[in-house]
């Protein structure tokens, strides 16, 4: 494979961003695609910003230059905007519409931006796809499958160098049997959300 695919995953601690990046890496290996997975910055505490990159194809470094991401996949809207430096006009920004309110906002120290303003700003830099990942995950049977919803949306974006089935198989292979059906529903829900966007 000579084409390079660069994906930035972002969100806050506890949303499964690092797990999603590692799953993408494993799926690329399964598909015999060169891959680098890197955590750029992460906070162990729940609520801290987390950013990972996944680079696939003919790449020689995990480092992602500004403005070169093919996809920015975000489980939190402000984190999508915070990482806008990685996008260009052709980048697909896929973000959940549900904010995670930081402690500083909850105690009145700061204000969370208006979502409409935030989304308008993202649209000036890239193609924007908004999905209600929380709702889709709940409908699948467990809100904890939000990262699986996001991976389903990514699979439907047409950017990955392998079939959606490879990614779904990778998600399901290490799960106990009782969690497989809910994750499959979450993945399918994420795919449908992008296809209808």
- 103-156 pLDDT, tens digit per residue, is 655 666 677 889 999 999 999 999 999 999 999 999 999 999 999 999 999 999
- CA–CA dist 62, 25 (Å, integer): 12
Q: What are phi and psi of 54, to 5 degrees?
A: -130, 120
- CA–CA dist 99, 78 (Å, integer): 7
Q: Which pLDDT band, with edges at 50, 70 and 90, does 100 fall under?
A: confident
Burial (0-12, 13-18, 19+ Cβ within 10 Å), 87: buried
Taking 3-state DSSP, the helix, strand and coil percentages for the chain, each rounded to the nearest 5, stand at: 45, 20, 35
Instruction: State the average pLDDT over residues 98-105.
Output: 74
By the 8 A CB rule, do 52 and 9 touch?
Answer: yes
Q: Is residue 6's pLDDT more than 90?
A: yes
- Taking only the tens place, the pLDDT of each residue in 35-53 is 999 987 656 566 688 999 9
Domains of the chain: 4-99+113-195 (3.40.920.10)
Q: What are phi and psi of 33, to 5 degrees?
A: -115, 135
Q: pLDDT averaged over the chain?
A: 92
Single out the residue of 176, 194, 166, 172 nearest to residue 185, CA to CA.
Answer: 172
By the 8 A CB rule, do 146 and 96 touch?
Answer: yes
Provide CB contacts within 8 A for 67, sequence distance 6+.
85, 86, 87, 88
pLDDT of residue 1: 45
Helices (H), 73-163: 77-82, 103-106, 115-123, 133-140, 146-156
């Amino acid at each position: 494979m000579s084409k390079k695919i660069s994906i930035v995953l972002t969100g806050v601690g506890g949303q499964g961003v690092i797990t999603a990046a590692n799953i993408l890496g494993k799926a690329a290996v399964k598909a015999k695609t060169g891959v680098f997975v890197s955590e750029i910055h992460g906070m162990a505490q729940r609520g801290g910003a987390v950013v990972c990159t996944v680079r696939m194809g003919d790449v020689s470094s995990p480092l992602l230059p500004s403005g070169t991401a093919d996809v920015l996949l975000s489980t939190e809207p402000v984190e999508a905007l915070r990482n806008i430096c990685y996008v260009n006009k052709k980048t697909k920004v896929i973000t959940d519409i549900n904010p995670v309110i930081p402690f500083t906002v909850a105690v009145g120290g700061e204000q969370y931006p208006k979502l409409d303003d935030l989304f308008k700003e993202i649209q000036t830099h890239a193609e924007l796809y908004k999905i209600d990942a929380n709702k889709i995950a709940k409908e699948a049977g467990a809100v904890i499958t939000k990262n699986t919803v996001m991976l389903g949306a990514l699979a439907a974006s047409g950017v990955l160098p392998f079939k959606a089935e490879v990614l779904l198989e990778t998600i399901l292979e290490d799960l106990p049997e009782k969690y497989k059906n809910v994750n499959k529903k979450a993945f399918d829900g994420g795919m449908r959300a992008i296809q209808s966007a």
